[in-house]
């Protein structure tokens, strides 16, 4: 993933912005590289740089309660570190924050975007629901999902944490709960 991001960042005339579910395979087949909000935020966090870009985004007015994936991405763009492409593509899944981020960047940076409406299916055996700090969607939907899974007798684990900002994360606790859940599923099989 690191080389993929690095190559995309170094070929700004042939790359676009996207989100995690945008069809990067189709885009790659046209010789265009894509960087998603989520991948760039992970890239920055992998190098322990996320706090700088999150703080930068907040210093230009983004709400502290906004998802750290989006703050890290917007911070990288607005600080001039991430080059500006000519186009972006986002999807209706899995994030309701994407639309606002791409609308913001269209206005700020004049990067137009398309929204793809992705069909949804519901055929899971078990669910791990990660409540990322600042994600209104996963936090707000966790109780609805929990009740739905209970009715269908599908095992579900809810984890709280932050995939990007290490200042909000408790990795040891998450690992312990995840291992216990996976063991429970294996025993049930």
Interface ranges with ligand SF4 (CB under 6 A) = 38, 67, 69-70, 94-95, 97, 132, 135, 137-138
Exposure of 96 by Cβ count < 10 A (0-12 exposed, 13-18 middle, 19+ buried)? middle
Minimum distance from CB of 54 to ligand SF4 (Å)?
12
Q: Which is nearer to ligand SF4, 79 or 94 (CB)?
A: 94
Minimum distance from CB of 131 to ligand SF4 (Å)?
9
Residue partners of 177: CB distance under 8 A and separation at least 6: 157, 159
Q: Which is nearer to ligand SF4, 38 or 78 (CB)?
A: 38
d(CA 180, CA 31): 43
Q: Which is nearer to ligand SF4, 5 or 95 (CB)?
A: 95
Minimum distance from CB of 137 to ligand SF4 (Å)?
5
Q: For residues 119 and 147, is the Cβ–Cβ distance under 8 A?
A: no
Q: Which is nearer to ligand SF4, 11 or 116 (CB)?
A: 116
Minimum distance from CB of 129 to ligand SF4 (Å)?
11
Q: For residues 19 and 36, is the Cβ–Cβ distance under 8 A?
A: yes
CA-closest candidate to residue 104, choices 88, 92, 125 = 88
Q: What letter does residue 1 receive in the DSSP assignment?
A: -
Exposure of 104 by Cβ count < 10 A (0-12 exposed, 13-18 middle, 19+ buried)? middle
153-181 in b/e form (b: 16+ CB < 10 A) is eeebbbbbbbbbbeeebeeeeeeebeeeb
Minimum distance from CB of 133 to ligand SF4 (Å)?
8
Q: Which is nearer to ligand SF4, 118 or 184 (CB)?
A: 118
Minimum distance from CB of 87 to ligand SF4 (Å)?
20
Q: Which is nearer to ligand SF4, 11 or 20 (CB)?
A: 20
């Amino acid at each position: 993933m690191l080389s993929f991001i690095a190559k995309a960042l170094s070929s700004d005339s042939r790359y676009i912005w996207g989100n995690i579910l945008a069809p990067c395979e189709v885009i790659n087949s046209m010789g265009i590289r894509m960087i998603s909000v989520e991948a760039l935020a992970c890239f920055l966090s992998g190098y322990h740089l996320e706090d700088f870009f999150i703080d930068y985004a907040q210093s230009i007015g983004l709400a502290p309660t906004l998802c750290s994936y989006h703050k890290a991405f917007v911070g990288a763009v607005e600080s001039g570190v991430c080059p500006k492409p000519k186009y972006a593509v986002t999807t209706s899944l899995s994030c309701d924050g994407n639309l606002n981020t791409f609308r913001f960047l269209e206005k700020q940076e004049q990067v137009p975007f398309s929204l793809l409406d992705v069909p949804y299916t519901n055929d899971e055996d078990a669910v791990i629901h990660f409540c990322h700090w600042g994600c209104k969607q996963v936090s707000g939907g966790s109780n609805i999902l929990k009740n739905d899974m209970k009715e269908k007798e599908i095992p579900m684990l809810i984890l709280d944490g932050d995939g990007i900002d290490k200042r909000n994360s408790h990795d040891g606790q998450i690992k312990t709960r995840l291992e216990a859940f996976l063991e429970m599923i294996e025993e049930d099989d």
